[in-house]
């Protein structure tokens, strides 16, 4: 049999070994106590954060309720302001209608009052007929203008070449302009400029602008009409878009400075005749087409009206 290897006797555990082992256990216990203390502190901090978060949530919910209540009050105030604006506009419209109707009705009433006494006078009967018919025509015109102003938005739109459209309109007015000594300077521009529009409604706008320009120069003068393409915004904060710009300028006295900001309001007029609804109707029609109607006084004299319409009518 092979010889067996003799076993080594186990090393004796000395006092030094016991002291080292005790030191290890002491360090372990100290580390454990520190971990337990850190865990306790962390648990307490988490509890504090939970309580703070809950308090923040309560504050946010209260702030949200206050914000919603404030927004509701703001909406109520805005609606009240809109209602006040509508009532004020309605009051102004009613006052304008009453004023425009009172004058012809007063004339008719005056003639009717003296009709019994003057009926046998043929001259009076002719004057009576002429004047009463004239005042009735004024009332009819006022009624038609009010209906135009209140007419709902038209949807009868088509692709329209503004160059051809203005060619036709200026040809239609040429004889009237010639008789009154009005000369038209027509800058048609290059190419074709298309918009999507209700032809009849747009015709109403430019008839009004052109006849206003002519009437601003009773002794004759020059009307400048210009057509061009451009890029500009159609709203306060909107992007720049391709547009068609038409300008109508005259050599008259211009718009009084105190009326520049209100010239498109109903019953505001710079003329001695008319109801003052033409520009208000024109402004509404241009807005219906997504465009702008602007006015300014030229440094050289006269007024300039600018119609800006979205371009490229499909």
Run of H or E residues at 306: strand 303-310
**Cα 205 to Cα 293: distance, rounded to the nearest angstrom:** 10
Taking Cα atoms as reference points, which of 167, 162, 173 lies closest to residue 197? Answer: 162
Taking Cα atoms as reference points, which of 104, 95, 303 lies closest to residue 210? Answer: 303
265: DSSP letter: S
**Cα 253 to Cα 215: distance, rounded to the nearest angstrom:** 11
Q: What pLDDT score was predicted for residue 32? A: 87
If DSSP codes are grouped into helix, strand and coil, which group holds residue 309?
strand
Half-sphere exposure for 119 (CA within 13 Å, toward CB)? 5
Whether the CB-CB separation of 282 and 293 falls below 8 Å is answered with yes
Domains of the chain: 14-150 (1.10.287.130), 158-310 (3.30.565.10)
Which segments within the chain are labelled E, that is strand?
A: 158-161, 182-187, 194-197, 221-233, 240-249, 292-297, 303-310
Tokens 């007015």 — which residue?
173
Tokens 């002429």 — which residue?
130
Enumerate residue ranges in the chain where pLDDT < 50: none
Whether the CB-CB separation of 170 and 224 falls below 8 Å is answered with no
Taking Cα atoms as reference points, which of 83, 93, 91, 82 lies closest to residue 265? Answer: 93
Length of the chain: 314
Rg (CA), the chain: 43
**Which tokens is 257 given?**
């400075």
């Amino acid at each position: 049999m092979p010889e067996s290897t003799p076993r080594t006797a186990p090393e004796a555990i000395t006092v030094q070994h016991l002291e080292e082992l005790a030191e290890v256990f002491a360090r372990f216990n100290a580390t454990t106590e520190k971990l337990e203390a850190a865990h306790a502190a962390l648990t307490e901090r988490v509890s504090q954060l939970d309580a703070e978060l809950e308090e923040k949530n309560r504050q946010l919910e209260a702030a949200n309720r206050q914000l919603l209540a404030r927004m509701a009050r703001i909406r109520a105030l805005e609606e009240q302001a809109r209602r006040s604006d509508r009532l004020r506009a309605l009051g102004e419209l009613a006052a304008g209608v009453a004023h425009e109707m009172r004058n012809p009705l007063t004339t008719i009433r005056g003639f009717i009052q003296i009709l019994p006494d003057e009926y046998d006078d043929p001259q009076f009967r002719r004057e009576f007929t002429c004047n009463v018919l004239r005042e009735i025509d004024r009332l009819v015109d006022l009624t038609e203008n009010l209906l135009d102003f209140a007419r709902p938005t038209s949807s009868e739109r088509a692709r329209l070449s503004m160059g051809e459209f203005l060619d036709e309109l200026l040809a239609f007015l040429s004889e009237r302009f010639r008789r009154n000594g009005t000369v038209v300077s027509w800058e048609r521009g290059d190419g074709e400029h298309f918009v999507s529009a209700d032809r009849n409604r747009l015709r109403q706008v430019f008839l009004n602008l052109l006849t206003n320009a002519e009437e601003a120069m009773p002794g004759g003068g020059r009307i400048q009409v210009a057509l061009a393409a451009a890029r500009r915004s159609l709203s306060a904060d909107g992007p720049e878009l391709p547009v068609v710009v038409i300008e109508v300028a005259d050599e008259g006295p211009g718009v009084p400075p105190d009326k520049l900001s209100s010239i498109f309001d109903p019953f505001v007029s710079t003329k001695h005749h008319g109801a003052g609804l033409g520009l208000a109707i024109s402004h509404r029609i241009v807005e219906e087409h997504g465009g702008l109607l602007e006015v300014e006084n030229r440094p050289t004299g006269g007024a300039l009206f600018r119609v800006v319409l979205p371009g490229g009518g499909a």
